[in-house]
Amino acid sequence: MTAPHLSPETAVAHAYGLTRASAEATEIERHVETCAECSQRLHRLRSDREALAEALRPEPIPAVEPAPALRRRRPWVESLAAALCLAAVGFALFGSWRERQPAGQSEAAVQRDLKNLGSDDPALRQEAFERLMKQRGGLEAELRRALEQARDPEVKARLDHLLRPHEMARRGGTASAQADGSLRFWLDHSASGFPIGPERPPAPATPLAWSPDGKRLAYRTQEDPNKPVQLHVLDVLSNESVRVSLDLLQTPVWSPDATKLAFASATGISIASGADWAVKPLVTEGLPCFFSKDAGQLYLWRPSRIECLDLVSRRSVLVADAAGPGVVSADGATLYYFGPADGRVSYGVSSFPLLRLDLASGTVRVLKEGASIGETNQTLKSFPDRPAVSPKGDYVAWIRTTADMSEIRLLYQPDGSLQSLDAAGAPAWAPSGLRLAFENRRHETQILDLGDARIWEHPGVSPVWAPQNSNR
């Protein structure tokens, strides 16, 4: 009887080496030797096993070059780096904190200084006052609160002094030159005024022009008429001045953003700017009239013409033929100036018309024939004074001087009516456009209220109005 063939399960298990007992494996081998069919089956299974193993064999992984060993940092280097990082973060946080403090002092330090204003120790009182002076720009609320609570008249007087710049900004007023050579500010017609600027200026001082933001006042000093005029810029908050020029020719002009001051000297026109008011010459002659709205151009006057100078390309174009410097309206759209001579008054003296030029269209209108009188041949030191336009543009005022008298002419543009005021100096408009300040023949400041025709006076000459409600 022939032995039965190997079952498929047994054949597969034996071919893949899964038969466990050695006796069972020996018995299977004996059967395979005597059974050709089972021998062939087992041979095919073993061939399939080797093919399967070859197919499943993984590809060899290429050898990876070892990465270069990192240079180990020394412990003290790591500590120093961490310390520097912490220091940088600390300084940043401290700087942010400092920016939120008034002039770098903590609230506790400010309160301590406010308390020491009433100290019996003069040295301690003065030190507290000087520290508060340096940072009073950011302490208006604290100063007003302290003033409300103060009972001592001396403490109130010191607090009033510290609050002066804020009152100037809130209420506006005029600065004028005093007989003793100092500068004084007048809040209104009923106030007694208070000094501003250096207590003892090196030479008699005269105010010239307030910056549009009201934070600074350009003024001049001159020892005597035979000495050069020096230009200074006063910081109202700190009450400190910077000398800008040693030989000023005419009134300087501010840029609309109050960052630049253009002025003329013997060497030509220059512009002062920056924290230290560094001077940059433009290398061009003339007198500055005004900046454009974006401060990119400077309008200037050279004898017989007004030009517009591009501050980047340094190229200028003719704007108008003019007998003197012009002024621009509050919106920057209209130029007011005195045109070429329209008649001869006497030998070497001519009259000049008051003109209005639309800067966009170039249209010129004559506002008043023979409005001003001056030398026929103009130079940088001899020309008709520039007119003064009210903030609303409804009035134009100018000084008209003859050999035996001087007066202010006041033209109301809507109906062309004209008034005359006895005066010795150029007019200056209040920000509201309702009041006009000028120097009268008694060499005092006179203020005319156009609304009710009231007039009042106070000591001082060459008045200039400060911007009202300026942001200090």
Backbone φ and ψ of 327, nearest 5°: -130, 160
Average the pLDDT over 173-191 and give the result: 86
Three-class SS state of 333:
coil
CB neighbour list of residue 299: distance below 8 Å, 6 or more residues apart: 288, 289, 290, 291, 292, 306, 307, 308, 309, 319, 326, 328, 335
Average the pLDDT over 22-28 and give the result: 69
CB neighbour list of residue 445: distance below 8 Å, 6 or more residues apart: 174, 176, 186, 437, 438, 439, 457, 458, 459, 460, 461, 463
pLDDT of residue 340: 92
- CATH 2.120.10.30 range(s) for the chain read 165-466
Total residue length of the chain: 472
Mean pLDDT score of the chain: 83
Pair 359, 333: CB distance under 8 Å:
yes
pLDDT band at 62 (very low <50, low <70, confident <90, very high): low
pLDDT tens-digit readout, 96-131 = 434 444 445 688 888 999 988 988 898 998 998 888
pLDDT tens-digit readout, 131-151 = 888 888 888 889 999 999 988
Cα–Cα distance measured from residue 447 to residue 461, given in angstroms and rounded to the nearest whole number: 12
Q: Compare 36 and 21 and report the one with higher pLDDT.
A: 36
Range among 92-106, 315-329, 346-360 with highest mean pLDDT value: 315-329
Cα–Cα distance measured from residue 335 to residue 332, given in angstroms and rounded to the nearest whole number: 8
| pLDDT for 71 beyond 70 | no
pLDDT of residue 464: 94
Cα–Cα distance measured from residue 438 to residue 424, given in angstroms and rounded to the nearest whole number: 8
CATH number assigned to the domain covering 165-466: 2.120.10.30
- Helix residue spans in 243-322 (DSSP H): none
Which of 39-53, 132-146, 253-267, 420-434 bottoms out in mean pLDDT, i.e. has the lowest? 39-53
pTM for this entry: 0.73
